[in-house]
Amino acid sequence: MKNTNLIPPSLLSCLITSVLFIQSAVAQNQATEKITRIGNLEWDLHEVTVATVKIYAEKTGFVSSGEREGGSFIYESGWTRKSQWNWRQPFGIEAKNNEPAVHLNFHEAKAICSFFGKRLPTDSEWTSAAFLEQRITPTQPFTKGKRYTYPHGDTPKNSHCLNGCAGLKGTAPSGSLWRGHGHVPVMTTQAGVNGLYDMGGNAWEWVDTAIGSEKVTRGASWWYGPKNQLESNLASKSPDTKVAYVGFRCVRDVQ
């Protein structure tokens, strides 16, 4: 008996080509961040990188507000716009792909997460992941169920901050900053609570929680001392803020 359910070879070839094309497109749209699962969320292990924002820009034609306006900001003796400082050139020179993407405002960060099927964490999600160790078998010296003072543990010594921390030199060219040395590439410091990198220090991170008309940022940065990394330090900024020491990481809801 003739099998009428067989797919014609020409149609089968077309279907295979379509599937491969879709798979290729999905792969090209994948972010570069390494990930880990904490509870019902899949977390970026580290801050969103320049490499990932390049993918977003190539796919969407994205031009950041800092680029359009000829430069983003740093705080010196007041807010100072720096010519040609943006996520591509955070300190006036081209960034390496593994540097955290900064100089992006809240709306831009949120859109980038969304493009990759993710979102910004809320403040409660961020603080839970940053301070409460939830791994079944955490690496030393962490203990399951313990709430830590800093995202790096009992002390901030392994973080990248202004003074009294890991003592790392950032990527900013000599003489470009009057304070600090800029951020370091992602995963340069030791992993902290829940195996996450730089939840304390390196770059502030946008979270999707509001205080009045402003949005919360967490974790502090290379420009600030360790006290700004504390859970009690609830900082907020205008969602239009774009500055050299604010970045972000994304999360994805999972079952």
Mean pLDDT by 10 residues, the chain (255 residues): 48 40 50 97 98 98 98 95 98 98 98 98 98 97 98 97 93 96 98 98 98 98 97 98 98 94
pLDDT at 52: 98
Q: Determine contact, residues 89/72, Cβ cutoff 8 Å.
A: no
Degrees to nearest 5, angle at CA 36 with 234 and 28: 105
pLDDT at 134: 98
Helix axes 106-115, 50-60, angle to 10 degrees: 80
Q: Determine contact, residues 215/224, Cβ cutoff 8 Å.
A: no
Distance CA 161, CA 231 (A): 16
- Rounded to the nearest 10°, the torsion over CA 236, 241, 246, 252 is 80
Q: Name the pairing type of β-strands 251-253 and 204-211.
A: unpaired
Q: Determine contact, residues 129/194, Cβ cutoff 8 Å.
A: yes
The DSSP code sequence of 126-163 is HHHHHHB---SSPPTT--TTPBPSBTTBSSSTTSB-SS
Looking up tokens 């490499």 gives 51
Find the helix or strand (DSSP H, E) in which 67 lies: helix 65-68
CB atoms within 10 A of CB 107: 13
Hey, is 243 helix, strand or coil?
strand
Cβ-count burial 204-232 (b if 16+ within 10 Å, e if not): bbbbbbeeeebbbbbbbbbbbebebbebe
Residue 190 CA from chain centroid, whole number: 16
Structure tokens at 6: 């067989």
Nearest to 103 by CA among 78, 122, 83: 83
pLDDT at 221: 98
